[in-house]
């Protein structure tokens, strides 16, 4: 992951945290931001995990499994 990509992701996370703390935005805007953040995070997972777990593919598989379970739980929660 490049330094620029890391900075963009960090900025998105900070913006999202600020919005959650204020809770003054309309639900449709929060949903849109949540979806954008999810997309950004998912797009960076592969490169990040490849770099982080380069020497241990087993750890990478375990982390990918946990992230997949988290994604499924989040989708299920949103549907309610």
Kindly report, residue by residue over 53-73, the tens digit of the pLDDT. Answer: 889 989 889 988 888 888 788
- What's the domain count of the chain? 1
Contact between residue 9 and residue 44 where contact means Cβ atoms under 8 Å apart: yes
What confidence score (pLDDT) does residue 79 get? 55
Q: What is the mean pLDDT of residues 42-52?
A: 83
State both tokens at 78. 């949103």
* pTM summary value: 0.50
The predicted pLDDT at position 78 comes to 55
Q: What is the mean pLDDT of residues 10-22?
A: 71
pLDDT of residue 52: 83
What pLDDT was estimated at residue 66?
Answer: 87
**Nearest by Cα to 39 from 66, 12, 2:** 12
Q: Residue 53: which domain range?
A: 3-79
């Amino acid at each position: 992951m490049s330094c620029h990509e890391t900075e963009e992701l960090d900025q998105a996370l900070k913006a999202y945290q600020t919005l959650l703390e204020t809770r003054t935005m309309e639900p449709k805007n929060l949903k849109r931001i949540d979806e954008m953040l999810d997309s950004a995070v998912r797009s960076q997972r592969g490169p990040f995990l490849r770099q982080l777990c380069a020497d241990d593919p087993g750890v990478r598989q375990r982390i990918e499994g946990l992230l997949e379970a988290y994604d499924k739980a989040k989708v299920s929660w949103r549907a309610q």
